[in-house]
Amino acid sequence: MTLARIVQPTRTLMGRLNRGDDLLEAITKLCVEHGITVGRVEAIGAVEKAGLAYYDQKEREYQNFEVREPLEITKLSGNVSIKDGRPFVHAHVTLSDADGQAIGGHLAPGTVVFACEFVIQEFDGAEFVRGLDESTGLTLWA
């Protein structure tokens, strides 16, 4: 059955991260500090290098990979929910190089911020809690 609930926007946190921050860690920390447990995230900017992942649907595991070059964040899009009792940010990014070629994936630790402007939108209502989904092997909203 499809999971869908109406949520209403409440607070919006807007700002920028510092050079050298770990992108995923810094966004997660902001959510924890501001008590944001349901929401969505978007950001643009640039990174010094990227740590990404691809979920291998057959092997049912993430394959992590690094892109060791300066890249633009053309789009970071994600959400905030609860995993293991704390705010968890799930984000995907599309990054581009000097030729405008894009690469993307599941945002993993190890993405180093050069500059980043973010907007985190909080929603009210019941939390979305992640649990193991047997059919995919992923921790999805239960």
What residues make contact with Zn ion under the rule CB under 5 A? 106
**CA-to-CA separations, 64 to 56, 83, 124, in angstroms, rounded:** 10, 20, 33
Cβ-based nearer residue to Zn ion, 17 or 106: 106
What is the smallest separation between the CB atom of 128 and Zn ion, expressed in angstroms? 14
Cβ-based nearer residue to Zn ion, 36 or 106: 106
What is the smallest separation between the CB atom of 132 and Zn ion, expressed in angstroms? 15
Tell how far CA 103 is from the center of its chain.
16
DSSP 18: P
* Alpha helices per DSSP H over 60-128: none
What is the smallest separation between the CB atom of 134 and Zn ion, expressed in angstroms? 18
Cβ-based nearer residue to Zn ion, 10 or 136: 136
